[in-house]
Amino acid sequence: MTLFEYIAAAVSIVLSLSAAQLLGATRHVLEPGRRYWVHATWVADILFVHLLAWWSLWSVRDVATWTFANFALIMAVPASLYIASSILVTGSPQGVESWERHFLKVRRGFYGAYAVTVLAAALRRWLLLDGPLVRPDDAITYGYLLLGAVSANRRVQAAVVLCELAAISSLIWARYLPGVT
């Protein structure tokens, strides 16, 4: 087993635990009478971000020297996604009476944890792949995450999640669809 494979296994374990938490809560999140479309959309989006995080790990396969610092940086993405997921659906989703009230109550922690995910991915790109530290899409993402964290307004929350969907869609279009530049 190579060191990259060893690190990939650790990342996969944390991402799997996090995704399992979201998937396990999905039935409760979608239950009529408790459902909040903004929250449900974030659950689906964060599940998809788990896939992107795992897929993007391949980009560091050729890192020449692995250090503990590099390993910690790689683990920051799945760890922060785990924290964001835990905040989003809680350990006992069956006890949540209203996902709207829950989301508005925990939004600051959720947006903060997700912002750490974006930052960790940017640091990985910069330190391990010699890419730019800040891309225009990162700056836009931080803007709408900050807006979501400070505002409990339902329309603002709807706009924030729609911005996230647009950002994820453009990322997939630009980086992951074959034959598309």
Question: What per-residue confidence (pLDDT) applies to 92?
Answer: 94
Angle (CA) 96-27-99 rounded to 5° is 30
For residue 137, being part of any structural domain is answered with yes
Whether 130 shows a pLDDT value over 60: the answer reads: yes
For tokens 């993405």, name the residue: 77
For residue 25, being part of any structural domain is answered with yes
For residue 105, being part of any structural domain is answered with yes
Whether 7 shows a pLDDT value over 80: the answer reads: yes
For residue 181, being part of any structural domain is answered with no
Question: What per-residue confidence (pLDDT) applies to 135?
Answer: 85
Q: What phi and psi values does residue 48 have, to the nearest 5 degrees? A: -65, -35
DSSP state for residue 63 in the 8-state scheme: -
For residue 8, being part of any structural domain is answered with yes
Question: What per-residue confidence (pLDDT) applies to 179?
Answer: 63
For residue 7, being part of any structural domain is answered with yes
For residue 180, being part of any structural domain is answered with no
C-alpha Rg value of the chain to the nearest Å:
17
Whether 181 shows a pLDDT value over 60: the answer reads: no
- What is the reported pTM? 0.92
Q: What is the DSSP string of 117-145?
A: HHHHHHHHHHHHH---S--HHHHHHHHHH
Give the separation between CA 43 and CA 37, rounded to whole angstroms.
Answer: 10
Domain that holds residue 12: 3-175
Give the separation between CA 149 and CA 72, rounded to whole angstroms.
Answer: 26
111: exposed, middle or buried (Cβ count in 10 Å: 0-12, 13-18, 19+): buried
Q: How many domains does the chain have?
A: 1
Give residue 139's pLDDT band: very low, low, confident or very high (50, 70, 90): confident
For residue 78, being part of any structural domain is answered with yes
